[in-house]
Amino acid sequence: MSARNRELLALIPVALLVTAGFTSVLLVDSLDVGNVTLTYGGYFLAICVGIHILIRIRLPHADPYLFPLVALLAAVGLVVLYRIDEKLALEQASLMVLGAVVFAATIIFIRDLGVLERYRYLIAISGILLLVLPRVPGIGAQVNGAYLGIDIGPIAFQPAEIAKLCIVVFLASYLREHREVMLVNAKKFLFLTWLPMKHVGPLLVVWGASMVMLVFIRDLGSSLMFFGAFLALLYVATNSATLVAQFFAMFAVGAYFFSQTVSHIQDRVDIWLDPFARNAPDGAGQITQSLFAQAEGGLFGEGLGQSLLRLPGPFAPDCHVPFPECGSILPAPHTDFIYAVITSELGLFGACGVVLIFALIAARGFKAALTVQDGFAKLLATGLTAVLALQAFVIIGGVIRVIPLTGVTLPFVSYGGSSVVANMVLVALLLIVSNEARKPRLGGGGVTGTLPEVDSR
């Protein structure tokens, strides 16, 4: 069976999952199911098939499992959002259509990844400006102490989701061009590798500026994603573990400094260490409620629509905003804590299934990075995959209290248009790389721009 036929076949059970999930939720609310679940499943399958046809035409050799895995995550997100609030699911479905349009535009107009490499400085400046926008008076929007979004009339989005793609493109392009010069001129001192400042300077300026801005806007989750992508790209480009250790030590020192001096970060750390403390900072109730909800799920969960997410009628608060902003027992169940809802209703079995899907997507992304011969494409796929995997780790780790909670979305699952659109562009770029990696080549000749082997020291 060809790769594209395998992709099409894998989309069928995903559509069936949407139908079964919507049916389960409706059966809990009422016995009248009708044809509405088949309609939802049919619409979802139609969108997926449309994207599949485009991939079949433009990227015939692309990875056959990457898009079905992404569609599976989107299906889980739609079902859980429909269980939380029907309006949220309908809005998310509309945002997915927008994401599909942007996905198609990316595949159609980016015929050569070299275009991104040629405009790397312009892309980097655009990414940093996007990070600054939430702090601009009049358009910046503050949410829970963090400046995450901008609001200009009918347009509202989180620029950090798009900025992460810009920073990864710049880092991949710059390291691809200067890696050999950096390694040749590197000095050894005290068992450490010291790179020449004239070559690593621009890299540190762009990365450092993005780090400062992320602390300035208090978006700690994105800061961790950017740093993780930087380390992944640095290791792949230089094959030097000592360099990675040095930069990680710098990040650890900076993280400790900010945790002791910035009250917002210090509160996050205190809540992470002991959310049940009597003198815990404001916001500790979010983590405690999340842990209680996950504990109720047990091994196989309470079932879709069975968990208690909102206060019953006589106990519901009198709010001027709709559910889930008001009346929800679990705070932000459609965004930051949607993984807690999944664990509560699908249990440890379903929660581990979601983690497994992310792990498989990361594996397919890194496989494309390993097999592609072009140096820029290799680094780009590595950075994009690292960003996606780290974003999932940051939010899931925060919800289960492995790391301090940060306000990022769970890719393709949480409610949010900026996340859906940006991650659809990310997947489109990964598919372009995988298409180049899997494309049959005659004569076995190499491709210019490959990353040669270097001394692992």
Question: Do the bridges between strand 187-189 and strand 146-152 make them parallel or antiparallel, or are there none, so unpaired?
Answer: unpaired
Tokens 């815990």, residue located: 280
Cα(309)–Cα(333) distance, integer angstroms: 8
Model-wide pTM > 0.85: yes
Cα(327)–Cα(86) distance, integer angstroms: 16
Domain chopping of the chain, boundaries? 117-261
Tokens of 19: 């139908």
Cα(402)–Cα(399) distance, integer angstroms: 8
Each residue's pLDDT, cut to its tens digit, for the chain (457 residues) gives 888 999 999 999 998 888 888 888 877 766 555 566 777 788 888 999 999 999 999 999 999 999 999 999 999 999 999 888 888 888 899 999 999 999 999 999 998 898 999 999 899 899 888 888 887 777 776 665 566 777 776 677 788 889 889 989 998 998 898 887 777 777 776 666 677 777 777 777 766 776 676 667 766 777 778 888 888 888 888 887 887 887 788 778 877 777 787 777 788 888 888 988 888 777 788 889 899 999 998 999 888 888 878 766 665 666 766 677 676 788 888 888 999 999 999 999 999 999 999 999 999 999 999 999 999 999 999 999 999 999 999 999 999 999 888 777 899 999 988 889 999 999 999 999 999 999 887 654 444 444 544 443 4
Contact 158, 149 (CB under 8 A): yes
Pick from 431, 436, 452, 429: nearest CA to 375: 452
Contact 147, 155 (CB under 8 A): no
Tokens 């889980």, residue located: 76
Cα(248)–Cα(60) distance, integer angstroms: 40
What strands lie across the sheet with 155-157, from one edge to the other?
Answer: 140-143, 146-152, 155-157
Length in residues, the chain:
457
